A and B are shown apart, each in its own frame.
Chain A
């Protein structure tokens, strides 16, 4: 088994090397080899950009199928706030949860109250914190992976507060096993996910702890069946249904939502890997020391833009925003009891168990002297390349191609601009061969002579 679990697989049957994935991958983790895309595992941060980019649907997210939950005696669906963002204020969680039960889950729970508790816990953590600033949210697993791979110095700025889905799953298991008199292992809790990245944080948590969730089901897989399983609920209960929603929790679905619902003044929210990279560069240089909290999401506009969602991301972003505004307008603060959160916070109820560790990429060579030499070779090779990033060699840029060559994973003649040289070399070889062949003819009798001599001996 490989060292890193990934939530993305390439279907080689479907892949016909259109190179879209090669170009969108923000960490240059994709190559085309023998006409098929491959993923370099250590470089992949599971952002899902390639899934969205592939015109052939050849890149498949490895979420759990939504059938076959029978392994467990009791199953619970735990939808990400991203699911509610698909519906907005028209269809509230009060209606969605029974719909999920109709689909065959024994139970379905709203995650927003736990999200709210965790928001408060983050606030508590921020208040007592004295280390380097800003602190960075761990809500997006892709962002955490990016930091582990490229920004090891920012690891200590990741907030070590457990994710809402983990806290909720942990507590649900305890509660249900008590109520139903069954073992915790007999209860299966499934997260309804907006992205494949959440899958890796379940199968291989970044902090090396263990996950309390048993699987993740794609929102896009469940959306259709769910629509037809929704039942009518009475309209006059609308205000009461709203009151069940935690406004703090809804914030987790979109970029800036946590800051907005918590009202953190010195905060920054960003989405999309290129923008996040700019911000992390600045943080690393100490430029943003006056900011307290950074909310960063790999997907544009946050989890509403996850690659496994259905609705257009701007529409669902707007839907969450409108829902939050409605809750604000109606002055509904169905929020967790802050005193209770404070008490639990002190008891480390929210603290993450493991520790985030850097995950640096493999160097050019294990031996430092050789690595230095290879790095110089890489520069020389790069200088000789056309620098147009055409991708025909199978690498996304001329620079990555140069790196692949010194690592021994590609050869210079994979670059079409080096093909003429290759042909020149080949034709040279060919003509030499031909002239040799021509000069061989007259010696033929001699060969037979020597052979005869041998025979005689």
Chain B
């Protein structure tokens, strides 16, 4: 048990809803960690996109969230658990182009309704749970040994 523990890197980041001036910092930190430990560039690109979209959804639609990063030599996992309004209709939210973004958000370049579909496309495993009125959580996995 001890031996495998030292090869697991876990890190937690707090994200605040509505905090646009710090938006994106978590995904940048995550990208830098992945670069430092030498994850394959193509995986970093996919993971960074997913992390950013997940982070932005928290900033735009939730109160707060904990973003947990877990890396083992085999896989990379993101868990984003937020407290917020939750999603009423998950099937709808997963559709490309569906968005409830406000006009202000659209002005800032968000609200294309591409975030969740993009996360799903880029992750090797994608799980989403949501309780309306309570919050949403995302569970993403990226496998690091692509040839296996």
Contact = CB atoms under 8 A, between A and B. Distances in A.
B12 to A, nearest CB: 12
B9 A376 contact: yes
13 contacts: A152-B44, A152-B45, A153-B45, A153-B48, A282-B24, A290-B109, A360-B35, A361-B36, A364-B37, A371-B36, A372-B37, A374-B37, A375-B36
Interface residues of A, number: 29
A289 B44 CA distance: 20
Interface size bucket, B side? 20 to 34
A363 to B, nearest CB: 2
Contact of A372 (B24, B56, B73, B108): B73
Contacts of B109: 286-290
Interface in B1-46: 6-9, 24, 27-28, 31, 33, 35-39, 41, 44-45
A284 B37 contact: no
Interface of B: 6-9, 24, 27-28, 31, 33, 35-39, 41, 44-45, 48-49, 52, 56, 71-73, 108-109, 144
A285 B28 CA distance: 9
B71 A372 contact: yes
Given A152-B45, A369-B7, A364 B38 contact: yes
Given A285-B27, A287-B109, A376-B6, A371 B41 contact: no
Given A281-B24, A362-B38, 11 more contacts: A284-B48, A286-B109, A287-B109, A363-B35, A363-B36, A363-B37, A365-B37, A366-B38, A368-B38, A369-B7, A371-B38
Max chain A C-beta neighbours (<10 A), residue from B24, B36, B41:
B36
Contact of A373 (B6, B38, B39): B6
Interface in A344-384: 358, 360-366, 368-369, 371-376
B139 to A, nearest CB: 21
Given A152-B44, A372-B8, A373-B6, A363 B38 contact: yes
Interface of A: 150, 152-153, 281-282, 284-290, 358, 360-366, 368-369, 371-376, 403
A284 B55 CA distance: 14
Contacts of A373: 6-7
A375 B7 contact: no
Contacts of A284: 31, 48, 52
A374 B33 CA distance: 12
A373 B37 CA distance: 9
A375 B37 contact: yes
Contacts of A372: 7-9, 37, 71-73
Contacts of A360: 35, 38, 41
Contacts of B73: 368-369, 372
Contacts of B71: 372
Contacts of A285: 24, 27, 52, 56
Contact of A375 (B33, B41, B44, B52): B33
Contacts of B31: 284
B76 to A, nearest CB: 10
Q: Which 7 pairs between the two chains have the least Cβ-Cβ distance?
A: A363-B38, A371-B37, A153-B45, A369-B7, A369-B73, A368-B73, A285-B52
A365 B39 CA distance: 11
A403 B35 CA distance: 13
A368 B37 contact: yes
Nearest to A284: B48
Contacts of B39: 368
A395 to B, nearest CB: 15
Contact of A361 (B9, B27, B35, B45): B35
Contacts of A282: 24
Nearest to B118: A286
Nearest to B108: A287
A324 to B, nearest CB: 31
A112 to B, nearest CB: 36
A285 B9 CA distance: 24
A373 B28 CA distance: 21
Contacts of A287: 24, 108-109
B93 to A, nearest CB: 19
A403 to B, nearest CB: 8
Contact of B38 (A152, A358, A365): A365
A357 to B, nearest CB: 10
Contacts of B8: 372
